Amino acid sequence: MVSVIASSVRKGNVLEKDGKLYLVIGAENIHPGKGTPVTHLEMRRISDGVKTVERLRTTDSVEKAFVEHQTFNYLYQDGEQYIFMQPQTFDQLHVSSDVVGDKIPYLTENMEVQLQLFEGNAISIEIPQRATFEIVDTEPVVKGQTASGSFKPALLSNGRRRPPTTPVHEERADHENSDDCRHRRDRIVCGPGLRGQCRVREVGR
């Protein structure tokens, strides 16, 4: 552990408070026109996943833990556990669904991820910005509808639905990300600033 001032805390840091460890999931320094500058911290308690919010003066001292970042490959799911392998040592690490969180639908076999470790235990995960999934089902085209005015949901192989423009062939692959998307021909390609605008353009037979 090392003592640091609150204003230096960043997302991904691990802090110790009252004998428990917390992962910082959001950090913001607020400098009001009048009054004392403060640091707003959103944290998740590592032991049980409970989220908490702290509001500290920017000069307050907090205890920061040392963490390690390592590259792993995703292998498979075993109940509520997700199994990853360290590619150099082939050691396997079990990571709970609480840690993987909303990234679960985007995990694919052999995907390379970054795990943040504390004392050998995974406390957070980073996945690639892009992943490719097959379109496994689409709604049929209704006669008389035009491609420009018809948006039918497409079911991807990761279980999520995206609204492509008809017609779309089921063998086509889509690129999807949990953040933002833009369209490029028959693929969904992720990029910043385009949240909620995922579309697949019409593909000729």
Backbone angles phi and psi of 173, in degrees to 5: -100, 145
Place of tokens 């950090």: 27
Q: Is the pLDDT of residue 52 over 50?
A: yes
Tell me the C-alpha distance between 95 and 78, whole Å: 10
The domains of the chain, with CATH numbers, are 2-65 (2.30.30.30), 68-126 (2.40.50.140), 131-189 (2.40.50.140)
Q: DSSP letter at 11? A: T
Average pLDDT over residues 58-78: 93
Three-state DSSP class for residue 124: strand
Predicted confidence at residue 187, as pLDDT, reads: 43
Strand spans (E) along 98-201: 112-118, 121-126, 131-138, 154-156, 161-162, 173-176, 182-184, 187-189
CA distances from 103 to 14, 173, 177, 192, 205 (A): 20, 19, 9, 18, 34
Q: Is the pLDDT of residue 144 over 80?
A: no
pTM for the full predicted model = 0.61
Q: DSSP letter at 103? A: G
Confidence of residue 130 (pLDDT cuts 50, 70, 90): confident
Q: Is the pLDDT of residue 175 over 80?
A: no
Q: Is the pLDDT of residue 28 over 90?
A: yes
pLDDT higher at 176 or 94: 94
Q: Is the pLDDT of residue 87 over 50?
A: yes
Tell me the C-alpha distance between 29 and 60, whole Å: 12
Q: DSSP letter at 33? A: S
Structure tokens at 156: 């991807």
Rg (CA), the chain: 22
Return mean pLDDT, the chain. Answer: 76
pLDDT higher at 179 or 113: 113
Mind listing the pLDDT tens digit for each residue in 154-171?
A: 777 777 777 654 444 444
